[in-house]
Amino acid sequence: MTGRKNDTPPEDDDLPEAFDLDDTEDGDGAGEGTGEGTGEDTGATAGGRAPLPVFEAEPSPLGPEARGVDVISHAVRRLPLGPGVYRMLDEEGTVLYVGKARSLKKRVTSYTRLQGQSNRILRMIMATASMEFVTTRTETEALLLEANLIKRLRPRFNVLLRDDKSFPYILVTGDHEAPALVKHRGARRRKGSYFGPFASAGAVNRTINALQKAFLIRNCSDSYYANRSRPCLLYQIKRCAGPCTGEIEPEDYAGLVAEAKSFLSGRSQMVKKDLARQMEAAAETLDFERAAVYRDRLSALSHIQSHQGINPQNVEEADVFAIHEDGGQYCIQVFFFRTGQNWGNHALFPRADRSLGVAEVLESFLAQFYDDKPVPRLVLLSHEIEERALLAAALSESAGHKIEVAVPQRGEKRELVEHALKNAREALGRRLAETSSHARLLKGVGEAFGLTATPRRIEVYDNSHIMGTNAVGGMIVAGPEGFAKGQYRKFNIRSQDLVPGDDYGMMREVLTRRFSRLLKEHADERKAATPAPEAAAADDEISEDTSALPAWPDLVFIDGGLGQLNAARETLSALGIEDVPLVGIAKGPDRDAGREKFFIPGKPSFMLPERDPVLYFVQRLRDEAHRFAIGTHRARRKKDITRNPLDEIAGIGPARKRALLRHFGTAKAVSKAGIDDLMAVDGVSESVARAIYDHFHE
């Protein structure tokens, strides 16, 4: 399976080649936004083989206005009976649905009969203007490809895994003579062994902390390791074996690394028995100091397996999934068990049509979930799914070893599922309560600031800098489901004409860049009035998703007083935008929270009642914008502080920079060195020495 994130847009060569049944000559609509390409990724998705076979359809005699059953009936004529994946597209080329079939012909034929179809399927059929197909060798390949396409294209009528969270892993690095034990999140590009996923960064940190005590493996950076002349504090407190200064022989350190990998791979009992044997052997030879070391390591391993509440006795490696539905929303709780311990749990809320059963949602969810994650040898489910055997075969093919998918009925495994189901019920209950409360707050915001409808997208802007240095602007977004962190944006202030500390000028630059891009990319959406959440829910049974937020804000908060607000209003007016509501938030006297003053163009300033829930909500929005902006500023400032002048010289990489610093001590000393002195450094030729000298002596 591939490892792309949910929010990564499909590129031209990302998706397998498909034939288009639209009758236009250049594939208008169907080719745009669907990402059909060369078919190179198809083989990788389905087991790393050659590209899957495709075939072309005969030109359709139907006119461009054809929809629904007519289009589907024409597509059926030349479809094969073999397995494959099909895509249904609307008139604009947007993918409505991605499905897989054991027999493409039989499955697509079922859409030509309207009797007995659910409202969701009927709406999908009637909106279909064209179809695309890919044939596969087996049904398991079709299942893997379907999950891959759903995650990339996010079709409206599919069950969608909305949480694009990348789970953290533990990485034992493999690109260094002395491997390190570090936390890793994101694409697994670095060479080494990855263990996980963990449900949270906290679970990773706790495990790494205990593993350091048990196996004495370093967790410092390679640069820190390379510049040590004596052991660091971690060596003194017995959390590192000190390979940086030769406190341990390389082969002995490699043995520690191998033990850590064995423990994390599920062979925890074997590792513990081996440590116990070595402890007893040391005690028998009266080497009590060495025996105490093994004792402490055994204690650390026991701590890893006991620090969380539920730890199975007979399940070494498994993922547990339980689903609960209430109020048309779904919650899937997943628990990760590795090496006989609980590596945490996480609640996910897939987007699905209300008419689907929980088993259907769980089945569609699982293939997407494992599209970019390693699969354990055992997957436990709370509900029986129709194609459990097919899912197990597909996951086994992707993982390269046998995967068991089970629905336990009794015993310890059933208790694990029941525990996950209880957590799913509680998580969904909390979410429904928060959603209801959030909807009331949004409605209150609309009433408090004179909007014609309940806002669906609120944007808040703030700036951060110190005396004008490392100036950044931040934009946060809130919608019907709370903060939409995937749509936050940061703006590095670029203008060279700004006077340092000119907050008004910074706000003008941020808003100019933001709304100029909106005009360029989403000008058409601005013309349509944004419906209230209640109206949207009535028109469409599919739950809202943060990715479905409108591009244009219904309300913009500016963190600042009347001056900041006027700067924002003038900026938008210069762009020809007069219909976006603006509100300035000025801190109260003595910067007291609860006494904020609000400014709206053309109206007198006002304050909200001190105990008004809407005021608390607006304060949360303002504080989140402030947190985001100042966090971005601090990150930029930290990077600026740690930047080395040698980094700016072309041809000076990490090795030469390290050699120069070892020879001269500091970058300042390098800047004062002559050409002959620079040439005395290993790896610095005359041309490189002259480039360094010229850089500091322009």
User: What pTM value is reported for the model?
Assistant: 0.64
pLDDT at 403 > cutoff 50: yes
How sure is the predictor about 17, in pLDDT bands with cuts at 50, 70 and 90? very low
The 10s digit of each residue's pLDDT in 134-179 is 888 888 888 888 888 888 888 888 888 765 567 888 899 988 888 9
Of 412, 424, 393, 428, nearest in space to 323 by CA: 424
Distances in Å between the Cα of 284 and the Cα atoms of 270, 289, 291 are 21, 12, 9
pLDDT on residue 475: 93
**Which of 6-20, 499-513, 590-604 has the least mean pLDDT?**
6-20
Cα–Cα dist 98/93, whole Å = 13
**Which of 225-229, 244-248, 271-275, 539-543 has the least mean pLDDT?**
539-543
pLDDT at 541 > cutoff 60: no
What percent of the chain shows pLDDT beyond 90?
A: 12
Across all residues in the chain, what is the average pLDDT? 78
Instruction: Check if the beta carbon of residue 421 is closer than 8 Å to that of residue 383.
Output: no
The 10s digit of each residue's pLDDT in 358-394 is 898 998 888 888 877 888 889 999 999 988 899 999 8
Q: What is the number of H-type helices and E-type strands within the chain? A: 23, 19
How sure is the predictor about 398, in pLDDT bands with cuts at 50, 70 and 90? confident
pLDDT on residue 382: 92
Q: Which amino acid is at 69?
A: V
Delineate the domains of the chain, giving CATH numbers in brackets.
19-153 (3.40.1440.10), 169-304 (no CATH), 318-429 (3.30.420.10), 449-639 (3.30.420.340), 645-696 (1.10.150.20)
How sure is the predictor about 459, in pLDDT bands with cuts at 50, 70 and 90? very high
The 10s digit of each residue's pLDDT in 319-346 is 999 999 887 888 999 988 887 777 788 8
Contacting residues for 653 by C-beta, under 8 A, at least 6 apart: none
How sure is the predictor about 643, in pLDDT bands with cuts at 50, 70 and 90? low
pLDDT on residue 581: 92
Q: Is 558 exposed, middle or buried (0-12, 13-18, 19+ CB in 10 A)?
A: buried
> Which residue in the block uniquely carries the two structure tokens 């999908």?
124
pLDDT on residue 164: 56
pLDDT on residue 28: 34
Instruction: For residues 247-276, give the mean pLDDT.
Output: 78
pLDDT at 309 > cutoff 80: no
pLDDT on residue 216: 86
pLDDT on residue 592: 60
